[in-house]
Structure 1
Amino acid sequence: MSAAAPHRSGTRRAPGPSASRSLALGLVVLLSALGLVAWRQVRALEALAVLERTRQERALALAERSELNRRIQYLESRSHAVSEARTRLGMHTPGASDMVILPGVRP
């Protein structure tokens, strides 16, 4: 062995303060990144839940709108108007004996 050659033994040196700091910093960065990913996933799941609730509310609103449109059509129908006029007002559909033809001038 020459005096200029460094002495190498089978044992490793303990890491210095800069190596420990680098390892600690790396661990902090890794944990921060994992925390950020978990936070983003939670936010995404919350957004999906809000979206699903909104879709359900929209479907209910559309069903209610369809039901209201059917009800409006029924209430505006002639058959409903005639039956309501009979029950509420005592009106009836005129027969041949109820019709009187008045003499008049033709236009």
Structure 2
Amino acid sequence: MNKDLEALTFIRAGWYISYMNYCATGEGVTSIIAVSGSAERSEKLLKYQLPGYFHPHIVTAPIDAYADMEVAKMIEWIPDAAKRILQQIPPASGEYVAHLHYNLS
């Protein structure tokens, strides 16, 4: 399966993404991403990973062809191997969570 077809199949699968980006001077950038079969579940997965004061900054959106630029950028951070696995299973039967940290100082 070519890469464009894989991406299209993943987008049509019915998944949701929740993410939060945190930038701090001297600490770098931290992004936490959660993917699940419902908006509520992906947000719950993310909230479990974060202190409460970050919860208002969580963004949750469907993974679909109408994703805005920021959401599309976060979807790109999901590894192709994870996308392949997720597109092969029903959305209610799997999830993906990742912590990405970059120290840019």
**Under a length normalisation based on structure 2, what TM-score does the superposition of the two structures give?**
0.18
Using CA pairs below 8 Å that are at least 6 residues apart, which structure has the higher relative contact order? 2
For the pair shown, the structure with the greater C-alpha radius of gyration is: 1
Structure with the higher strand share, 1 or 2:
2
Larger fraction in helix = 1
TM-score by length of 1: 0.18
